[in-house]
Amino acid sequence: MSALDLINPKSGLYSRREPVFPRVVNGRFRRLKWTVMILCLAVYYITPWLRWDRGQFAPDQAVLVDLAGRRFFMFDIEIWPQEFYYVAGLLIMAGIGLFLVTSAVGRAWCGYACPQTVWTDLFQHVERWIDGDRNAQVKLNNAPWTAAKLGRRLVKWSLWLAIAVATGGAWIFYFADAPTLAQAFATGTAAPVAYATVGVLTATTFIFGGFMREQVCIYMCPWPRIQTAMLDEKSLIVTYRDWRGEPRTQGLKKAASASGKVGDCIDCNACVSVCPTGVDIRKGPQLGCINCALCIDACDEVMAKLNRPRGLIDYLNLDDEKHERAGGQARPILKTLLRPRTLVYFAIWASIGLAMLFFLGERARLAIDAAQDRNPVIVTLSDGQVRNGWTLKMRNMQSRPRQIELAMVGLPEGRMWTDAMDRRNAARSVRLSLAPDATTKLHLYVAAPGGVAGETPFVLNARPLDAEPGSKDARVATRTVKFIRQ
């Protein structure tokens, strides 16, 4: 062994991309892909334009991530930064959901719903529309750069660019009022970050969807590695039934004359020519396979023509593949989908979701935060009483003004007043009006006779005055604080 062996002069340090020209294919999985693509794109483009009436004090956009205002609106749900654990909960659900989907249907995300897949697919359809199907594309690719070729390329790139701009453009509408931002964007008065975001997303969509394509999946994306690690022998993956297909023959007669055994695969390469990542599924499960199942459609077409049963290439888990290879009956696909592992994942996933829904429904929409003055903690007043102070933050998380009564429970000799009041009006409770969907900050003072050492805990109760008694809105927000005398 020498160090020189580490560098293999034959393979080289790098290799060029082998262009992929997937042929158009029709079939059930192609139709499923169409459906998912239209659904994903529709949700992505339409969502920011949906309106949702929340009254005059909150925006009327159904889904809005208001970063500047630090509010997250999703239909009837409004999340404050303090409640970000709901988003964390969603991320945990996404994680468990990933386990669930991967253990049940393998890399379904990669094959159907990943934006890279969806936009690459869309770009490839544009490509076929302009350049024609696989053979025409290969021919054009190899042709010299004539005016006609340049023209076609420019048309294709322009269409891609238009899609890319629309893609990047739609993103920003999730973060501001869509109609207002659209107008500002068009008139050049939107924030620079809006243009920068659109620019970056346009560039990435154009480059990743138009030119990088499967390179993103194979070299850049961590997902295939993660998902591959989570697959087991029961996960549904796209599998070539090689015990049925091999040996491959390109003509039945020729095969029959050579030896007795004839496989179903006629080596027509239909599965390879439709593959958007350019892999040969017949080599077995591999990183480049995004499980889009287009090769299943392609092979089924061929098998139908040959009057052979469909499913030479099929969604099949490795266990069942072994079972069938040994001569067993094909098992129903439901047995793969519904097995203890997927059911446990689903139960966990659903419990988290239900728990979150429950807590969302039950969460407080009125809260008190009290930060005690620390410098000085104790102020002796001229009449000998001792004063403590708190910075109160009253969070009114409803989109309407609230009237509340803030009252002391405990410390019977204490009296309170706010920085908007005079101590002469100090009492056991004060009335406050809270601004809609905002934090009302005020300073609270409490004075009580001194002389006793130590801390006396008492409770601050914020009781809504503007809600039906007994209703959810009438719930009292409380906070326990300490009165410190010495």
Partner 1 sequence: MSHEKPRVDDATGTNLVGHEWDGIEELDTPLPRWWVYVFAATVVFSAGYVVAYPSLPDVAGSTGWSSRGQLDETLKAEAVARAPLINAVAATDITQLAANPAVMRSAIEGGRAAFKVNCVQCHGAGAAGSKGYPNLNDDDWLWGGDIASIHTTLRNGIRSPGVDETRYSQMPAFADMLTRAQIGQIVSHVRVLSGQDKASRASVAGAALFAENCASCHGADGKGNREMGAPNLTDAIWLYGGDRAALTQTIAKARFGVMPHWAGRLDDVTIKMLAAYVHSLGGGEATPAAAPAPAAETADNVGT
Binding of partner 1 at residue 208 (CB under 8 A)? no
Q: Measure the CA–CA gap between 361 and 123, rounded to whole angstroms.
A: 43
Among 250, 380, 480, 486, interactor with partner 1 by CB under 8 A: 380
Nearer to partner 1, 47 or 391 (CB): 391
Among 126, 445, 448, 462, interactor with partner 1 by CB under 8 A: 445
Nearer to partner 1, 335 or 443 (CB): 443
Cis peptide before 376 (omega within 30 of 0): yes
Among 16, 329, 454, 469, interactor with partner 1 by CB under 8 A: 16
Binding of partner 1 at residue 408 (CB under 8 A)? no
Q: Measure the CA–CA gap between 312 and 32, rounded to whole angstroms.
A: 20
Cis peptide before 247 (omega within 30 of 0): yes
Task: Tell me the longest C-alpha to C-alpha distance in the chain.
Answer: 116
Residues 6+ apart with CB under 8 A from 252: 262
Nearer to partner 1, 159 or 438 (CB): 438
Q: Measure the CA–CA gap between 459 and 123, rounded to whole angstroms.
A: 63
Enumerate the H helices of 187-330 as residue ranges: 192-207, 214-215, 223-230, 242-245, 252-258, 270-273, 294-305, 318-325
Question: What tokens does 398 get?
Answer: 């409803």
Segment contacting partner 1 by CB under 8 A, of 98-106, 173-181, 342-350, 414-422 = 414-422
Nearer to partner 1, 30 or 402 (CB): 402
Q: For the sheet containing 402-409, what is the strand order?
A: 429-434, 402-409, 455-464, 477-484
Binding of partner 1 at residue 434 (CB under 8 A)? yes
Per the DSSP assignment, residues forming a β-bridge with 367 are 395
The DSSP code sequence of 41-58 is: HHHHHHGGG-B----TTS
The DSSP H or E segment spanning 134 is: helix 134-142
Give the count of alpha carbons within 13 A of 328, CB side only. 11
DSSP strands (E only) in 304-384: 313-316, 366-372, 379-380
Binding positions for partner 1, 319-358, rule CB under 8 A:
none
Among 228, 391, 440, 456, interactor with partner 1 by CB under 8 A: 440
Segment contacting partner 1 by CB under 8 A, of 48-56, 63-71, 177-185, 431-439 = 431-439
Binding of partner 1 at residue 219 (CB under 8 A)? yes
Binding of partner 1 at residue 443 (CB under 8 A)? yes
Segment contacting partner 1 by CB under 8 A, of 274-282, 290-298, 375-383, 452-460 = 375-383
Binding of partner 1 at residue 376 (CB under 8 A)? yes
Nearer to partner 1, 17 or 28 (CB): 17
Binding positions for partner 1, 17-46, rule CB under 8 A:
17
Q: Measure the CA–CA gap between 227 and 225, rounded to whole angstroms.
A: 6
Segment contacting partner 1 by CB under 8 A, of 2-10, 86-94, 115-123, 456-464 = 2-10
Segment contacting partner 1 by CB under 8 A, of 95-103, 197-205, 354-362, 378-386 = 378-386
**Site residues for partner 1 per CB under 8 A:** 1-2, 4-6, 8, 10-17, 212, 215, 219, 283-284, 373-376, 379-384, 387, 389, 401, 417-423, 430-435, 438, 440-443, 445
